[in-house]
Amino acid sequence: MTGTLVEYFAGVQHRLPEEAERVLRALDDYGAMNKEELSLTAKVKRAVLDHVVMQLYALGLVDVTTEGKSKMCSMTSLGWDFLKLSKVG
């Protein structure tokens, strides 16, 4: 089972919900933010956002850390690579 990262990202891109791209773009444009800010910035309903963030986290594209009572979301280097390649393709 061999494949390139580009092929893998292409498969991922087709399986993720459309809200995932908005979440990644918001994190790319504005940096790390808590889920409330991310929901408003990415224009994704909070209930949907939780599912999308967990999918992105499982893929290693987003990191989620706890700061007090807030869950902070940020892009990983793999997330930036994914976003860069998805802009090209």
Burial of 41 (0-12, 13-18, 19+ CB in 10 A): middle
DSSP state of 61: S
State how many domains the chain has: 1
| CB < 8 Å & 24+ apart, contacts of 57-66 | 59/12, 61/24, 62/23, 62/24, 62/27
State the chain's mean pLDDT as an integer: 89
User: Tell me: the pLDDT tens digits for 18-46?
Assistant: 899 999 999 999 999 999 999 999 999 99
Tell me what pLDDT residue 2 has: 56
d(Cα 15, Cα 11) in Å, to the nearest integer?
7
CATH number at residue 28: 1.10.10.10
Using the predicted structure, report yes or no on whether residue 1 has a pLDDT greater than 50. Answer: no
Residue span of the structural domain in which 19 resides: 5-88
